[in-house]
Structure 1
Amino acid sequence: MNTTPSHTTPTPASAPDEAGPALDAVSLTALRAPAVRHLLALRAEHRLTRAHVHTTAQCLNVSDRTVWRWLAEATTTPATTAAPGARRSGRFEITSELRVLLAYWHGNASAVHRELLARARQAPAPAISPSPPADTDTDTDADASADASADASASGPAAPSPRPPRSALPGGAPLAAVPLLDPVPSLATFLRAVRRDLTAGERAGYRHGHQAARAHDVFATRPRMWRNEVWEADHVQAPLRVDADGTLVHPFVTWFIDCATKAITGLAVTPGTPTRASVLAALRSAIVPTAPYGPFGGLPAHVRFDRGRDFLSRTVTAALTTLDSDITVLPPYSPHLKGSIENLNHCATTMLFAALPGYTPTPRKPPKQPPRKRPDPPPAGPPMTFQAFTTELLSWATWWNTEHHPESLHGATPLQAWQTDPTPLREIPAADLWSFTLEDDARTRTLTSHGLRFRNRSYLADWMTGQAGRKVTVRFMPHHTHEIEVCDPHGHHLGTAHLADQATDEQLTALRHARNTRARRLRADAKAAERLRHERFAPATTPTPALRLNTITATEATRELSRYEEADLTALALPDLIPPAPPSADWATPDSLKARARPPTPNLASAPEHHDQETTP
């Protein structure tokens, strides 16, 4: 019967692999040297096993391969035993010259390594004077070389050596910019140095530009203030097209957000490109605390936006200055400085626009990509109307303010954060707000019997009856030319005036059709002209000059040139056809101008007498 000996030692249980280090990094580094010396002692006694190395690696929080490397370095270089794993001075590092090459190759580290290898191969070999072989042909070869040198000296100066190539690799950097390394590190060592010495942001910047490096930056978070302390404003284009009076357009949303409570204080929707009128309309809805935005409103202390032309317009700047709000204009290409409104734009795209009909995801474009020339494809289904889109957007804004729980509010909704904030509001009556958000004409006009003349148009209103000859001023919403607001010179509002001879809907439709027809004809003519300018060249497989393929006959070329010459009126002018009359004899005229004048007219009175003398026999 098989029995287990009593003297058999049980196998100790191995330590769990997931156990973390119990000491800090400084203590673990200090324990490296004693651990390596102990392992070397075990190796000298021929008692070193993999279990010892594995246990040491777990205690020092490194891998087994690292401990084996420390033992190999200590065996070959005993001086490294005092500081295993310490940084060596002879380690390959990325220098400033290599950084320039990485920028030249747009972050392609393998291409830089190939160029370093090519540069090392093209380096001149060190001069070595070998001893002549011990055979009888040595003197003969020396005499032949001497004769060849003598012949070359007699025939004249030596021919210049061929010029070295500009670059070692096709499309590479000049040789003067490539450092000569001796020896050139391996590709693995070079890539490891790039990952070690360059940050992720620097590698992304070399590859895609400085804007791509911003994704790896660290930004601070602004401290939370109180309501109406800071507002942020921006435009966002909805990635879909809506039906606006029979035309498919991209709607733009202009809105303001309170940075403290994350509440949408006001917005305006524009079917097409927004203008400063969009900013003024959104600002008016943000200040007045009425529906559909709930109790949010009041005058902001600071307003922050980017360098858009609409926000920097004189009208918007004057309105905010009149409302006693400080304006902060952010530097270009810095969306991280207005994170609240940028986060709102992103949330609107993912939470609302993505679920609407006709949504088209915006592709990620590399920096500074030229805009698309082809129009957007038509939507697959019937598009939304502009009114339906505005209804959905206002409903979503109400949901955002009353039911959404932003992470920065710690479980509260923007409405709850607004109502619990005790900061007093600076309000302005709605009846007085319109005057601050309208553009001033800065001119004094006179009411006539035909109404009020503004920008070569006539405006009428019923309240103008009996007030002809009164001095008034005009305030208006930009691009809203169908009506204007009329005030007296002191700023008191008199009433609204409407366009007198406004065209009917049928006339506007016919005019729009005529304009579209003319635009299509002009585009067709421009496309035909571009086809005439288009140059086609033959493909080449060898380095040859470019060969044009637009061959025409001499008759076609003469016909086309004559058509252009007839259209050029300057070519038809003949300023030197009739030379000027000769100057008077008492004028001090240069000889060069005298030669260009026509000869003097002969005296007609003496001509018959001279003729008689010649014909008299």
Structure 2
Amino acid sequence: MPRADREQRQAAVERLRQLRADGDLTADHVRLAAAGLGLSERTVWRMLGSEDGAARRPGPPPYALTETDREAYAHYGANIAAVHRARTAVLDGQTSAAGVPIPAFLVQGWVGAEPVTLRTLQRAFTRALSPAERASWSSGEQARREADVYLVRPAAHRNQIWEADHKKLPILVLPPRGPAVCPWLTTIVDDGTRALLGWALALTPHAGTVLTALRMALVCDAERGPFGAIPALVRIDRGLEFAAASVREALAALCVDLQRLPARQPHRKGKIERLHRTIDQTLLSGLPGFTEGPRDAAGKLYGPLDDGAAARAAAPDQAVQPMRIERFAAHFASWAAWYNTERPHTALDGRTPVQAWNDDPSALARIGAERLRHLLLAGIERTIGKDGVRLHGLAYVAPELQGRRGQPVQVRYMPHDDRFVEVYLDGEHLCTAHPQGQLTDEQVEAFREHARQETKRLTRQRRQAAARTRAELAPLSDADSEPAQARLLPAAALTDQARRRADGELTRRSRSDLLGLRPVRAIPPEETS
């Protein structure tokens, strides 16, 4: 059976001493106590005879480390053998050990110290230093953190707290231009349900990718599930992309608190760190170009792809190529849907994130997509062509683009969602355009109806302008004619005599001299001969 701890032994000794003081102590009592403590009877009798109730073995007390011993432990990088070697050399009057000079502060500190064996020194450091201290001096800060114990945050309701972070994915993909690269992933995870709410892929992280992931997490899209609402708090690390003014202003406009965590402390947002490890284990490891797979003795990846610099530069010309980033984005979208809807999570009692989301009755603050256009990734300038706005090989059209061919506009879009783009003109939202070939019957009819109404509107304006032009130019044709206002009176307001006079005047004036030009006199044939 396991040995009892110090408090149990002290409690047993106190009980035995009480029995001895009352005159009732017997050997059977000691035998029972020894069996309960997992010790021998002799040890229990020795504990009973000591003042503090602890079993004392004959011999000197254990060695206690000095301050110089601890400094030497740090100086020699937790190498106790080197500490013992230097300590012994100093006690022998030497100033170097194994050919290495001993620092002066160690020489002075060990003057007059008692000699100890290597095993005694090892036991002393094991007793005096915690595992975290030993790991810190031997392997560094990361090893020390692995020996630490962390607090666990209380469970949060759905969509109350988000965690956001970047990660450079260990997989090679081909960008639109240039050599193969490892893309960056921006993710947003719900603290309460572990749901992957928003994500964005880019060659390098920037504020645009953060805004894209935020918009995906904020907008409720039936194709992605029931997610999409305004949180109360977003936890981020010290990345400058998350602290950009555009990101802070967008969240502040929604009254969302932004909490920046200390640098290099990934345990402070452990849920998103665990998600990133799940991505590596369940998605990336099964795709070509995974850079954390097994390697040969020369460090080259097993398999058809190589992540060396020369191989990356030549990737577009090789027979076996990495995936295009667009194709990888499609794979990641499928994986995200699987993760949210099918993968059970142990921290959620075996439920999936979408089940945990639906089981939580807490209220959600929804917001419409039209109110979040400012959170879209600002794209590039485009000129409206005959087939609309072209982007990523698709032509986007909308009724509001009618009659604007050749006009420059700004397009904002979701990098991994080609279903729509937002078109801005002079900083103002113009329309939401959809790709041609994917329009619904209602969208096609709305486009055609807008074209018909636009044609009618322009035709009506041209007629009105022509009528105004005739009314303005008519008085200039003959200075001796009646005033223009008399000729513009309705026919019913004129008398019969005035009507006949007006009709005769109009007949006389319906010649080519409307603008004051007189007809050319015909030249008789005899004058031309």
| TM-score band, normalised by shorter chain | 0.5 to 0.7
| Cα 1:244/1:474, change in 2 over 3 Å | closer
The correspondence of residues 27-38 of structure 1 with structure 2, limited to 5 A, is: 27-28=11-12, 30=14
1:400 corresponds in structure 2 to: 339
1:327 corresponds in structure 2 to: 258
Counterpart-to-counterpart distance in 2, 1:476 and 1:89: 79
1:254 corresponds in structure 2 to: 186
CA contact (8 A) 2:185 2:201 kept: yes
Q: Name the amino acid aligned to 1:179.
A: W
The correspondence of residues 15-54 of structure 1 with structure 2, limited to 5 A, is: 18=1, 24-28=8-12, 30=14
Match of 1:248, SS? coil
| Cα 1:404/1:273, change in 2 over 3 Å | same
Match of 1:249, SS? coil
Deviations along 1:445-482, one digit per CA (max 9) or x if unpaired, are xxxxxxxxxxxxxxxx96785999xxx99896899xxx
Instruction: Give how far 1:330 is off.
Output: 0.6
184, 187, 198: which one aligns with 1:266: 198
Instruction: Give how far 1:226 is off.
Output: 0.9
Instruction: Give how far 1:240 is off.
Output: 1.4
1:172 corresponds in structure 2 to: 102
CA contact (8 A) 2:237 2:262 kept: yes
Deviations along 1:197-231, one digit per CA (max 9) or x if unpaired, are 10000000011222320101111111111111100
Structure 2's unaligned 5+ residue stretches are 19-29, 295-306, 381-399, 416-420, 434-529
1:375 corresponds to 2:314: no
Deviations along 1:77-123, one digit per CA (max 9) or x if unpaired, are x985874425999431223322221111111111111111111111x
2:142 corresponds in structure 1 to: 211
1:353 corresponds to 2:323: no
Counterpart-to-counterpart distance in 2, 1:30 and 1:69: 15
2:358 corresponds in structure 1 to: 419
1:429 corresponds in structure 2 to: 368
69, 79, 82: which one aligns with 1:98: 69
The correspondence of residues 98-497 of structure 1 with structure 2, limited to 5 A, is: 98-122=69-93, 165=95, 170-174=100-104, 175-176=106-107, 178-180=109-111, 182-245=113-176, 247-270=179-202, 272-361=203-292, 375=309, 382-437=321-376, 486=424, 492-494=428-430
| Cα 1:463/1:330, change in 2 over 3 Å | farther
Query: What is the percent sequence identity of the aligned residues?
Result: 32
54, 60, 82: which one aligns with 2:37: 60
Instruction: Give how far 1:259 is off.
Output: 0.4
Deviations along 1:331-390, one digit per CA (max 9) or x if unpaired, are 111101001101101111112111212222179xxxxxxxxx973866995422323322
Match of 2:309, SS? coil
Instruction: Give how far 1:237 is off.
Output: 2.1
| Cα 1:32/1:178, change in 2 over 3 Å | farther
Runs of 4+ aligned structure 1 residues displaced above 6 Å come to 19-23, 31-34, 53-57, 67-71, 472-479
Deviations along 1:247-278, one digit per CA (max 9) or x if unpaired, are 312122211110001111111122x2222211
Counterpart-to-counterpart distance in 1, 2:411 and 2:64: 67
Match of 1:327, SS? strand
The correspondence of residues 581-592 of structure 1 with structure 2, limited to 5 A, is: none
Q: Name the amino acid aligned to 1:85.
A: A
TM-score, length of structure 1 as denominator length: 0.53
Deviations along 1:164-216, one digit per CA (max 9) or x if unpaired, are 85789605332445423542221111101111110000000011222320101
Counterpart-to-counterpart distance in 1, 2:245 and 2:431: 24
CA contact (8 A) 1:303 1:328 kept: yes
| Cα 1:84/1:433, change in 2 over 3 Å | closer
Q: Name the amino acid aligned to 1:405.
A: P
Instruction: Give how far 1:60 is off.
Output: 3.3
Match of 1:331, SS? coil
Counterpart-to-counterpart distance in 2, 1:20 and 1:184: 33
Counterpart-to-counterpart distance in 2, 1:82 and 1:426: 64
CA contact (8 A) 1:292 1:398 kept: no
| Cα 1:85/1:316, change in 2 over 3 Å | same
Counterpart-to-counterpart distance in 2, 1:113 and 1:300: 58
Counterpart-to-counterpart distance in 2, 1:27 and 1:216: 32
Instruction: Give how far 1:288 is off.
Output: 1.1
| Cα 1:209/1:399, change in 2 over 3 Å | same
| Cα 1:27/1:83, change in 2 over 3 Å | closer
Counterpart-to-counterpart distance in 2, 1:473 and 1:244: 26
| Cα 1:332/1:229, change in 2 over 3 Å | same
Match of 2:100, SS? coil
Counterpart-to-counterpart distance in 2, 1:84 and 1:322: 66
CA contact (8 A) 1:358 1:381 kept: no
Q: How many residues of Structure 1 are paired with residues of Structure 2 in the alignment?
A: 383
Q: Name the amino acid aligned to 1:329.
A: R
Instruction: Give how far 1:236 is off.
Output: 1.8
CA contact (8 A) 1:475 1:487 kept: no
Match of 1:304, SS? strand
Deviations along 1:50-93, one digit per CA (max 9) or x if unpaired, are xxx9998655324x7xx88999x99xxx9858744259994312
1:7 corresponds in structure 2 to: none
Match of 1:85, SS? coil
Match of 1:332, SS? coil
